[in-house]
Amino acid sequence: MASRKYFGTDGVRGRVGEHPITADFMLRLGFAAGRVLSNGDARAVVIGKDTRISGYMFESALEAGLAAAGANVALLGPMPTPAVAYLTRTLYACAGIVISASHNPFHDNGIKFFSEDGEKLPDATEDAIEAQLDKPFVTVESALMGKAERIDDAAGRYVEFCKSTVPYGTTLKGLQIVVDCANGSTYKVGPEVLRELGADVHPVANQPNGLNINDGCGSTHPELVSSEVLRRGADAGIAFDGDGDRVVMVDASGEIFDGDDILFMIANARNDNGQLNGGVVGTVMTNMGLELALKNRRIPFTRTSVGDRFIHRELVEKGWTLGGETSGHILCLDRASTGDGIVSALQVLEIMTRKGASLASLREGFDKFPQIMINVPVSAGQQSGLDDSEPIRNALRAAESEMNGRGRVILRPSGTEPLIRVTLEGEDSGQIDRLANQLADVVRQELGARD
């Protein structure tokens, strides 16, 4: 893992036009992936993408590289990341590829891979792809080249799958729901799923143009869906991110519910019904209030590093099914093989309709600790210097000493962006705000991006 050149916590990601997010690299990556993941297997490698403009270029480059390696290709077009995972399984493909930078701006892009089971690739497989990238690009004989086909009914297949994750007969009739599609890959299927279940749907940010993905909308900008819920007097709002694996929700009063809130709602309802298999997995960023609320209900809880692959690994090892991140990346492994924004939202909406309850009432019993996170932009390669800076270590120790066990201080590099995330959580909002800014100032001085 430490010696990797390309793969990060969630595939290969970066700014378009800057190595490795270039057309020539994607050609070689497609070839390397074809050699490792296909290796003579007649089954196709499926490719889906979000709506950012560079997806066209990278789709073509990956397709060419895969074909040169002898791998067949099935093109899905714009499709949520979890849809690619699902279709990889149901189309009996040998692997799946998603072209997306998730919640990042349009000028970023990335590549994620799924195994034939619709799960993130094991570390060993990613290492094998990296090793293959260092080998010569040798096109197979013409008779052995891969072929490509487009799957025209991909969206319909996925819509039916999403609907199947709630009990038969579930209806959302009578609910007015605002859906923010982030101008991303859920722009068609997100509203369609809810409409087919009977909801009165009001979509926003559902007109992608290749440049507006995540731009002032989606789960990273929930103020848009919040204001629209209030304007329309809707019952609830849902905001996805650009590739549809994250979700945040909004109640009728416009209050925003993040991934911790959603985890609590699902865990509490399943626990009441005797349907919670084991406990809940969160991350180091999960609010302490959730841990205490679950403890009060005798629901086991454990934390992992940030990243859905770590949550997934912990869930599998424990034999549990429910986990997630504060960002809204929720895993319901009894429903889907990976985090799925639409599926997660449906679990909450089903609880609402079954109980005849408002969204706000489902969160009763969960009191959050005040939390603040400051993102400090750093120069390329500077994230690794976090542990080597004595001034940062001293500032961290000072903040922890002042908290005196009445909260948490978390300092970590982002796995997807050139940022250091400074997070404090505690009982006194004024104290954590002051300490967070002090610590962020030191990080900025030591590692901050230079103009």
- Give the N- to C-terminal CA distance of the chain in Å, as an integer: 31
Specify whether 38 is catalytic: no
DSSP 115: -
Distance CA 270, CA 290 (A): 15
Same domain, 47 and 131: yes
Amino acid at position 348, single letter = V
Local structure of 255: helix, strand or coil: coil
Same domain, 341 and 397: no
Distance CA 343, CA 117 (A): 18
- Domain C-terminal end among 368, 385, 415: 368
Same domain, 322 and 378: no
Q: What is the pLDDT of residue 385?
A: 65
Same domain, 335 and 426: no
Residue 3 counted as domain residue: no
Domains contained in the chain, number: 4
- The per-residue pLDDT of the chain, averaged, comes to 94
Residue 5 counted as domain residue: no
Domain housing 206 = 171-254
Distances (CA, A) of 423 to 158, 169, 329, 372, 435: 37, 43, 18, 6, 10
Q: What is the pLDDT of residue 34?
A: 97
Dihedral sign for Cα 287, 413, 217, 351, please: negative
Q: What is the pLDDT of residue 330?
A: 98
Distance CA 168, CA 165 (A): 9
- Domain C-terminal end among 107, 126, 154: 154
Dihedral sign for Cα 179, 185, 188, 192, please: negative
Flag residues of the chain having pLDDT under 50. Answer: 1-2, 451
Q: What is the pLDDT of residue 370?
A: 92
pTM of the entire predicted model? 0.90
Distance CA 245, CA 255 (A): 21
Phi, psi of 253 (to 5 degrees): -90, 0
Same domain, 18 and 150: yes
Same domain, 360 and 237: no
Catalytic one of 102, 185, 219, 344: 102
Same domain, 22 and 109: yes
Same domain, 290 and 328: yes
Dihedral sign for Cα 127, 133, 135, 139, please: positive
- Cβ atoms of 294 and 368 within 8 Å: the answer is no
CATH number at residue 436: 3.30.310.50
Closest CA to 322 of 412, 406, 260: 260
Same domain, 70 and 126: yes
CATH number at residue 247: 3.40.120.10
Distance CA 209, CA 64 (A): 25
pLDDT in tens, 4-15: 789 987 889 999
The count of residues in the chain is: 451
Closest CA to 149 of 67, 94, 49: 67
Q: What is the pLDDT of residue 144?
A: 96
Residues 6+ apart with CB under 8 A from 321: 277, 278, 315, 331, 332, 333, 334
Same domain, 49 and 139: yes
Same domain, 72 and 54: yes
Same domain, 249 and 299: no
